[in-house]
């Protein structure tokens, strides 16, 4: 899953710290008791960060960071304008050192909370750490603000010095936010109040969702476990699960509507203060991509709804023997689908084989995650649903969270998150401030890892029926990654635009949700009334507004990139590894140029969408 802000690295539309969690796209599966056939699943060991909530090292780190932050403020506040290039480079290096200490503590608290957000003690610890980090980082807030007040010509002259030039990518990306920067006093107030503002509402959402139980067939299921029933082969089971989920979400709709309205209004206030032209503009700036590029992506996908999702789901309805599909049929397995459980060991072999087959260097990094306790795959109550990869800090290593149920989709999720992990390991030498990539590139390695795994499995399969089923499954995953996520983006856009004129009632939120779902899924579907509340469980809407288009961006980018690979492009593996190693030091245009690709080219998105359409063409011929 990649950017999740359990402890937000951003404050009200202005960057404060780096290393966001990479959130996985919602695949309608999650927590719950793991079936026995999947084997022994790994649990992570967070002691590489800290050995417990009462860790002496954690106390020492926080105390040292507080002291160092105060000293840093005393040494540099008001002095950056006249600092020499060498002195400025020294200051940035010290800022990064202190910031990484804070990032380590934040990562530990985030991972603990993700592992069990239903434990009040962990919730209290997470909030306490968040408050402490906010207090400490208040002493650092001046630094980026003062850096942005240095004139363009002045800074350009100083960057001619090699010592400062090392930090050019950091300064370049920071200055994207320069036109939206507020006074130091306002920035500090927004920073300090963030723990009782958006962050607190995010915590309320997480704890509420973790505590919900869905009564189904004599059991009380977690949300993730109930959502997993929407992929059951038995349509009656899917229908009962869908209605039970809808009932529970409906019972809590006022709370979820309040959270959504409050966060949307909070964002609108911030956007207005900072003069962002529209609700998604801050996200685009942080992704280092122009509004127009995102508009081109959204326009390309929505225009292609008929030849992609509409066409596929009409075929699926026929395969299932149904005149119309209900929302609980969207992820239904196809007739004759192999429903066998895939043990964890087999999933590990499949994914590692694909990674190693592409490049042994990438396979070696991927294997570390299995040889060491860096993965938590056991579904359990209170655990965050879905999956994510957390880079933590360069001085440590990434961690992966999964909820492994032994399905093919879970294998693809493993391949996806492992791609993030490999990317984060390769980029770590760039340092804490420059290793993180914009979301527009963050999904490249993850989606590419999925494609490698899928292609390896497809190429090894000789049975025509199984190949057709595998191809259909891949099409569904791609539609979930591209069409579904753009529909999510459209929903967010409509909600945030309308919220500026007043609070949205739950019924209006439901109507907007139904509108975008009907547009994206097409005439094959009818929607039962309970589906109007299904927007409530998507965590991206709460934690990371307008994050979701990054999945479509990444999928289309990878489709084009994979086409270059399959064409035999010279030195592709070396260029690909260099792209991942670059972290956040280069923009998408520079990173894609060695492959002959340009995301600003209107035809770029067509290349990616043509891959999906080609798979559907093949299914029609089968």
455: Cβ contacts below 8 Å, ≥ 6 apart: 354, 562
Q: Is the Cβ–Cβ distance between 448 and 34 less than 8 Å?
A: no
Counting other chains too, the contacts that 165-169 makes at CB distance below 8 Å and 24 or more residues apart are: 166/89, 167/89, 167/92, 167/433, 167/434, 169/434, 169/584, 169/585, 169/586
The confidence score (pLDDT) of residue 598 equals: 87
Indicate the average pLDDT of the chain.
90
pLDDT of residue 17: 41
214, β-bridge pairs: 221
Cα(335)–Cα(235) distance, integer angstroms: 12
Residue 55's CB: how many other CB atoms inside 10 A?
15
SS (H, E, C) 193-226: HHHHCHHHHHHHHHHHHHHCCEEECCEEECHHHH
Using CA atoms, how far apart are residues 175 and 145, in angstroms rounded to an integer? 10
Alpha-carbon span 142 to 76, nearest angstrom = 9
Distance between CA atoms of 97 and 68, rounded to whole angstroms?
10
pTM above 0.85, yes or no: no
Positions in the chain short of pLDDT 50: 1-25, 29-36
Q: Are 38 and 343 in contact (CB under 8 A)?
A: yes
Three state DSSP letters for 339-378: CCCCCHHHHHHHHHHHHHHHCHHHHHHHHHHHHCCCEECC
Taking only the tens place, the pLDDT of each residue in 515-553 is 999 999 999 999 999 999 999 999 999 999 998 998 899
**Beta bridge partners of residue 525, listed in sequence order:** 325
Tell me, what's the pLDDT at 339? 66
Q: Which of 60, 192, 84 is nearest to 139 (CA)?
A: 192
How do strand 375-376 and strand 399-401 relate by DSSP bridges? parallel
Listed residue (531, 553, 533, 532) closest to 485, CA to CA: 553
Render the burial of 320-358: b for 16+ CB within 10 Å, e for the rest. Answer: eeeeebbbbbbbbbeeebeeeebbbeebbebbbbbbbeb
Domain boundaries, the chain: 56-175
Q: Are 453 and 587 in contact (CB under 8 A)?
A: no
**What is the CATH code for 56-175?**
1.20.140.70
Residue 85 CA to its chain's centroid (Å) = 36
Closest of 567, 568, 553 to residue 609, by C-alpha:
553
């Amino acid at each position: 899953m990649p950017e999740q802000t359990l402890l937000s690295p951003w404050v009200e539309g202005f960057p404060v710290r780096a290393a966001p969690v990479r959130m996985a796209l919602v695949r309608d599966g999650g927590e719950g008791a793991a079936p026995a056939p999947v084997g022994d699943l790994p649990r992570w060991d967070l002691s590489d960060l800290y050995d417990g909530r009462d860790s002496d090292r954690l106390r020492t780190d926080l105390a040292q960071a507080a002291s160092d932050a105060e000293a840093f403020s005393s040494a540099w506040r008001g002095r950056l304008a006249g600092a020499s290039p060498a002195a400025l480079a020294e200051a940035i290096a010290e800022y990064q050192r202190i910031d990484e200490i804070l990032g380590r503590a934040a990562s530990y608290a985030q991972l603990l909370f993700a592992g069990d957000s239903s434990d009040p003690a962990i919730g209290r610890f997470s909030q306490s750490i968040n408050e402490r980090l906010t207090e400490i980082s208040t002493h650092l807030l001046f630094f980026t603000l003062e850096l942005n007040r240095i004139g363009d010509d002045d800074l350009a002259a100083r960057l001619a010095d090699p010592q400062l030039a090392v930090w050019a990518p950091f300064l370049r990306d920071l200055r994207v936010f320069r036109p939206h920067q507020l006074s130091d006093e306002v920035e500090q107030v927004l920073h300090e109040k963030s723990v009782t503002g958006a962050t607190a509402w995010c915590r309320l959402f997480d704890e509420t969702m973790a505590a919900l139980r869905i009564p189904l067939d004599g059991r009380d299921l977690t949300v993730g476990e109930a959502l997993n029933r929407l992929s059951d082969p038995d349509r009656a089971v899917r229908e009962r699960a869908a209605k039970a989920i809808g009932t529970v979400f409906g019972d809590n709709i006022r709370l979820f509507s309040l959270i959504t309205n409050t966060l949307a209004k909070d964002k609108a206030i911030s956007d207005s203060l900072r003069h962002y032209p529209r609700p998604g503009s801050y996200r685009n700036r942080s992704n280092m991509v122009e509004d127009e590029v995102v508009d081109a992506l959204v326009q390309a996908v929505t225009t292609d709804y008929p030849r992609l999702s509409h066409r596929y789901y009409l075929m699926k309805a026929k395969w299932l023997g149904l005149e119309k599909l209900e929302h609980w049929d969207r992820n239904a397995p196809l007739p004759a689908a192999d429903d066998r459980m895939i043990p964890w060991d087999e999933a590990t072999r499949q994914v590692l084989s694909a990674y190693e087959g592409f490049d042994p260097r990438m396979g070696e990094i991927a294997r570390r995650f299995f040889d060491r306790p860096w993965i938590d795959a056991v579904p359990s109550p209170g655990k965050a649903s879905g999956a994510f990869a957390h880079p933590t800090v360069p001085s440590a290593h990434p961690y992966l969270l999964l909820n492994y149920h032994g399905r093919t989709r879970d294998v693809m999720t493993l391949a996806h998150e492992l791609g993030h992990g490999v990317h984060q390991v390769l980029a770590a030498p760039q340092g804490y401030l420059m290793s993180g990539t914009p979301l527009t590139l963050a999904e490249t390695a993850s989606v590419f890892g999925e494609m490698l795994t899928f292609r390896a499995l497809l190429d090894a399969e000789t049975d025509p029926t199984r190949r057709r089923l595998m191809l259909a499954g891949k099409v569904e995953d791609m539609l979930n990654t591209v069409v579904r996520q753009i529909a999510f983006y459209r929903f967010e856009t409509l909600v945030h635009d309308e919220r500026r004129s007043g609070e949205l009632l739950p019924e209006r939120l439901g109507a907007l949700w139904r509108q975008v779902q009907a547009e994206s899924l097409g005439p094959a579907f009818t929607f039962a009334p309970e589906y109007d509340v299904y927007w409530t469980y998507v965590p991206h809407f709460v934690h990371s507004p307008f994050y979701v288009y990054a999945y479509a961006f990444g999928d289309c980018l990878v489709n084009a990139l994979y086409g270059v690979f399959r064409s035999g492009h010279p030195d592709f593996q070396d260029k690909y590894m260099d792209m991942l190693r670059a972290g956040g030091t280069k923009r998408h245009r520079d990173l894609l140029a060695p492959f002959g690709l340009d995301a600003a080219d209107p035809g770029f998105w067509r290349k990616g969408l043509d891959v999906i359409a080609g798979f559907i063409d093949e299914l029609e011929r089968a």
